[in-house]
Amino acid sequence: MSVHLSAIVLAPEGFDVVRTTLRHLAAQSIARRMEVVLVAPSRTGLGLDPELLAPFGSWKVIETGEVPSGAAGYAAGVRGASAPIVVFTEDHCFPARGWAEALLNAYAGGCVAAGPVVANAKVSPLTSLSWVTVTPVCPTKCW
């Protein structure tokens, strides 16, 4: 089965930091059509959890050594991605169910760029701390 969407996951501090994001990605209805591209200084220091990666169509680790910036990490991930559609993830941003499928549907419908609506994931949206953790939700915005 080919993958249709590559999710770039920066993990410079190890697998545990991105575990919650990966759980949300694994819960996507199209997880079998997704590729996870983990960008890390080294595979050996990452502390992979193969069971958490099992739901995906494929996954890989891009070893970068020390990454000077998030942008450089994302660029390395894009270069290593296999799918025609690439998304960037964050370790504090947890995609809602249906997020990945909505993105694929937006592109299938003729969008040249699409992105999720982002909502505050906390019960108390009035605090600045609550905005550190956000949830990309559907519908998507299409351009």
Q: What is the CATH number of the domain that holds 73?
A: 3.90.550.10
66 is in which domain, residue-wise? 5-142
Across the chain, mean pLDDT equals: 86
How many structural domains are present in the chain? 1
Q: Mean of the pLDDT values across residues 39-63? A: 96
Q: Mean of the pLDDT values across residues 2-22? A: 95
- The pLDDT tens digits of the residues spanning 67-112 come to 779 999 999 999 999 999 999 999 888 888 889 999 999 888 888 8
Contact 86, 78 (CB under 8 A): yes
